[in-house]
């Protein structure tokens, strides 16, 4: 979980490979209207996100027995709660300073999320609460190191 450019689509597939489970990118579950809205620089509302979250939740439910890793912003507790209903979920919050996030967004090409929406995502983001199963990591660390940290946390229970 994390805002745009936090590294979800970089770390997620590597984590899935390490765990030998399937990976899905949450961006692939967005309705076309959401992508058009974001590409135009318009922040999504909770109402916009609900069908997307439900699609991600359906994927999680379908992978409940086999396991899976999905890259999903899951910015608010309520959004994470919606995903938790589908399957037991361990959230990894990829935490990155704003300046680095903006640098990453501007450096990548071909993605629909403009840098102008970064502040709206940061304003919406609610870090993991103490009672939520998961961990927060400094996502400026190398992806391989992040994967090792997450795998160790999962093994520890």
Q: Tell me the per-residue pLDDT of 79-96, one tens digit each, with 9 for 90 and over.
A: 999 999 999 999 999 999
> Which CATH number belongs to the domain containing residue 42 in this structure?
3.40.50.300
Does 1 map to a domain?
no
Does 2 map to a domain?
no
Residues 139-155, mean pLDDT to the nearest whole number: 97
Does 19 map to a domain?
yes
Position 111 scores a pLDDT of 63
Number of domains in the chain: 1
- Across-strand partners of 156? none
CA distance 40 to 114: 8
Question: Which stretch of DSSP H or E encloses residue 69?
Answer: strand 68-71
Our CA dihedral for 28, 89, 121, 41, rounded to 10 degrees, sits at: 10
Task: Give tens-digit pLDDT for 96-126.
Answer: 999 999 899 888 766 666 677 888 889 999 9
CA distance 35 to 143: 27
Give me the domain span that covers residue 151.
Answer: 8-156
Does 45 map to a domain?
yes
Task: Give tens-digit pLDDT for 10-54.
Answer: 999 999 999 999 999 998 999 999 888 888 888 888 999 999 999
Question: Which stretch of DSSP H or E encloses residue 107?
Answer: helix 98-107
The residue with greater pLDDT, 115 or 148, is: 148
Does 3 map to a domain?
no
């Amino acid at each position: 979980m994390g805002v745009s450019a936090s590294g979800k689509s970089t770390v997620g597939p590597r984590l899935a490979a390490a765990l030998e489970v399937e990976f899905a990118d949450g961006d692939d579950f967005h309705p076309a209207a959401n992508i058009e809205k974001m590409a135009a620089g318009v922040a999504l509302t909770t109402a916009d996100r609900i069908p997307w979250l439900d699609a991600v939740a359906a994927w999680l439910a379908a992978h409940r027995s086999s396991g899976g890793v999905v890259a999903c912003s899951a910015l608010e507790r309520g959004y994470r709660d919606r995903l938790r209903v589908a399957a037991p979920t361990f959230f990894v919050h990829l935490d990155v300073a704003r300046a680095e996030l903006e640098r990453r967004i501007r450096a990548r090409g071909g993605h629909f999320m403009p840098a102008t929406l970064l502040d709206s995502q940061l304003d919406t983001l609610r870090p993991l609460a103490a009672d939520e199963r998961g961990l927060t990591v400094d996502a400026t660390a190398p992806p391989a190191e992040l994967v090792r940290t997450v795998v160790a946390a999962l093994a520890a229970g």
